[in-house]
């Protein structure tokens, strides 16, 4: 199989190289994360989604898979937060949600509980190590800020990053001891790069599972991507 920048192939690689984790912490899932469902149906999925309207679709998507639906926002503080919902897709009532400042001011706003990931896991422990996926439309750094202890027990992080915030998210996760394993699902808008998902791994796990380009270089392992 040729090497491709897809999330599915990256997850297959994680599985085939024996990179261990026990629990998936999935922050911001809309109606489900198909690649994680397909790749790891044997893992326990903890699903953090503040939009309650997605619950029935989530339960259907994860039927037969060990999972929990947690109706809350994950951020850098504990308490409550105002959530704004909207749709940018015709025919879909809600396609995106985001945290906003201040109290609920319209029917598009609602108040939801909010936790730091560290606080949630302190009160409701789940077995580590973890695979942590973060996709919450711009507030990903706040999840990282509230997950210092969690990241110590995390093997893999998958985080969405748009064109303007790739560097800051990489720097934040490098500070917590991660390095890039893969860049997947690149998306373009009007032919210009817009966003991607970054897959990061602890260096000690990468050293065990992958060869280093700096040691006994093998040209056959150097594979430029071609469509």
pLDDT (tens digit, 9 = 90+) per residue, 143-188?
A: 999 999 999 999 999 999 999 999 999 999 999 999 999 999 999 9
Over residues 106-135, mean pLDDT: 91
Instruction: Give the separation between CA 185 and CA 115, rounded to whole angstroms.
Output: 28
pLDDT tops 60 at residue 104: no
Strand partners, 115: 74
Residue 95 to residues 68, 89, 120, 224, 225: CA-CA distances in angstroms?
A: 21, 7, 26, 35, 32
pLDDT score at 95: 58
pLDDT score at 126: 96
Of all residues in the chain, the percent with pLDDT exceeding 90 is 78
Domain made up of 7-78+116-221: CATH architecture: 3-Layer(aba) Sandwich (3.40)
Of all residues in the chain, the percent with pLDDT exceeding 70 is 90
């Amino acid at each position: 199989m040729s090497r491709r920048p897809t999330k599915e192939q990256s997850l297959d690689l994680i599985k085939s190289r024996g990179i261990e984790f026990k629990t998936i912490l999935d922050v911001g899932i809309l109606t489900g994360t198909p690649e994680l469902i397909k790749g790891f149906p044997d893992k326990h999925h903890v699903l953090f989604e503040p939009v309650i309207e997605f619950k029935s679709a989530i339960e259907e998507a994860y039927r037969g898979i060990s999972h929990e639906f947690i109706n809350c926002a994950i951020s850098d503080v504990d308490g409550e937060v105002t959530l704004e919902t909207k749709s940018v897709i015709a025919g879909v009532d809600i396609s995106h949600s985001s945290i906003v400042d201040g109290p609920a001011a319209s029917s598009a706003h609602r108040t939801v509980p909010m936790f730091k990931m560290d606080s949630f896991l302190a009160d409701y422990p789940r077995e580590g190590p973890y695979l942590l996926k973060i996709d919450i439309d711009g507030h990903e750094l706040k999840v990282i800020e509230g997950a210092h202890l969690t990241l110590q027990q995390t093997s893999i992080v998958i985080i969405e990053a748009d064109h303007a915030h790739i560097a800051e998210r990489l720097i934040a996760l490098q500070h917590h001891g991660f390095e890039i394993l893969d860049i997947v699902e690149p998306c373009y808008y009007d032919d210009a790069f817009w966003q991607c998902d970054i897959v990061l791994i602890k260096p000690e796990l990468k050293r065990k599972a992958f060869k280093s380009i700096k040691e006994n270089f093998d040209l056959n392992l150097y594979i430029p991507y071609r469509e």
